[in-house]
Structure 1
């Protein structure tokens, strides 16, 4: 499988056939390609989760909606489209790296070798950028997935949404390095040394009696127990990360997501002249990043039992 840009959005390919495509507003999947590589579905759903469950992702989605909103004037639509183009340029590698890694980890383990073998050179490189530091220390795909998703939360939680709220059509589109998810991912991975990963493993092992390194131990748990453990480990990963300096601003990542996303929604609604359909109720996370919901591998019973 490889991925490339198709206009505005992202495509996953198998042997040069477009198997999946995310336009930011919708997902398209090719049934025959999915039969060969079902991880394509997970890959595209991970793009969706980044767009729906992170501050930067939600801002990108809102801007995309505004760029095609007939009620908005042409200048506003063009301004929103230019922001979308800039966001995609500065986030494409982070989007694809996390979607590829977590998409494979979400699938049944027996599907992993074929999915990895089908990756193009670029996408294999991006998959390995996460797999090398994480998989060297963590052996169960359930925990690998949680760490990969935490990277999404950290990379796509920047000051960009707050700055969008101060911008109006015609204003310059400029990113600070710290607002670029690609740059943030590189900085974080540079600090994911084997020693640090082993320290994180010790922290996670200390909060449960379950052998979190064993795939069999995870799969022996009832779904609800898996989700509970997901939440417990996600919270511990976040607490571990908060004690570390990744060389980037983490104020938004550990702050009040609900208030920020609400401001973005209100501001962009005002530019459109009406209320756009809300893909995410900003209050659903209680003002904090969601910990236990549909984001984790354990939510997918097909991946767990197939």
Structure 2
């Protein structure tokens, strides 16, 4: 078995998207939480050395001027979109974690060289803390999937889904898919966050992350039949146990906030996630920069279910 090394150091919440042009596009949270960075390469192995550009830099003050978190890049309906969470400056809200979701767009073919425009907030119809949006298309319909606080539900965030009218506007009421309920989801913080979608083997899979962002951070899994209605909560099954968690033997801790991509062979599914290599965090974990990007192969069992394995091992 081969031990994994970080692909890119100090990049949390990683998103790798392989486009039809054959390039891999990468974005993630930067340690300063002040901008959206993008890079691209012909292979995943070339991403660490790829030129990095700033697609968007936060303003000094205002409703989206603090803690730029978890950008995700997607190509939808002929344009590039990056979804991200941002908090207002403290003179507005006087509280640190008041994030809302925002989106920027690039209509040029090459988003590294093209012009990005700020489109504004994605209004979910719920005016509370929210983050970690992703989008996916299923049977011709575009869906928005994200984490948000519900004041009536204990905990910090739950997972919701909605249909989209356009890539920057939802067109239905949010539907609750999952909330923190198992013991492994409520250590330190009660969260379901960081959803990512993979459609394979006649199913729609949603991975997500739970608990505090230390060694207790772990990944869970939802799945539905591809012919079921994604907007119906009854369509979804939830694993009662985590599918990826810390490996204390090889010192890879708190794996989570993943995305999925495919290898250069166009066949092998890849799991992209962040993790730390130590547990002794000094000070506020929020400002510890050492969550690194990892990439490993995702395997499948005979029932067509994903096998995540260990965060420290290639297999």
The structure showing larger relative contact order (alpha-carbon pairs under 8 Å, at least 6 residues apart) is 1
TM-score higher than 0.5 = no
Normalising by the smaller structure, the TM-score range is: 0.3 to 0.5
Task: Compute the TM-score of the two structures, normalised by the length of structure 1.
Answer: 0.32
More helix by share: 1
Task: Compute the TM-score of the two structures, normalised by the length of structure 2.
Answer: 0.31
